[in-house]
Structure 1
Amino acid sequence: MNALRWRLSPRRKALLATVLLAMVAMLVLRFMGVAGFNGVQPREMDWNDDGVATRAEILQGFTVVGVEESREGPRTCRRYARLGRGGEPFRVECRVVVAPDADDAGR
């Protein structure tokens, strides 16, 4: 019996390499803390606070804006900073999420 061989044409090898390279790039950006790969929605990427998230701002959110999230009890804060500029945040968002009481959960 012939053993099954997994043969790929050069075109498919190039496509596979491209897809794997894109996935590695997204993983690296995620570990770098880039906002677009760490849960920041495009509508939240209004970096100049004019009320509209433009295409350029969304592109910045996926390339040069980093986010650092910290939690202290029910309070969650996100600090946004440009990568490579000393890490000084240009925007800080804090939210308090109150969990329902154990008495309310049974209702």
Structure 2
Amino acid sequence: ICAVYVVLGTAMEELSMILLTVPLFFPVVTALGFDPIWFGIIVVIVVQIGLISPPVGMNIFVVKSLLRHLTIGTVFRGVLPFNVALVALLAIIVAFPQLATWLPGFMK
């Protein structure tokens, strides 16, 4: 599921991607016994990874249009640390889902 979001994120904007895919994936994820809040957090993180990933990465072109003096390659290199950090965050939240559900758990 994460790979689908990353691939879609390179070509689509986030709202369209979420509106098209969550109704398909949510029943599967809940049927498998995963927490819906955890799934929502994972979706948001993976969508953001897709939006700053080459080759299309919509947010990259927003930054490029604001900073016209930079080349697109420079912008992609500048975003790389953020992409690495988001992938690390995703790995941590997948490995330890309690981190994503701890604070919302107080609202029950």
TM over 0.5: no
Give the structure with the higher percent strand: 1
Q: TM bucket by the smaller chain?
A: under 0.3
Greater relative contact order, per chain length (Cα 8 Å cut-off, separation 6+)? 2
Give the structure with the higher percent helix: 2
Larger Rg: 1 or 2? 1
Give the TM-score, by structure 1 length: 0.26
Give the TM-score, by structure 2 length: 0.26
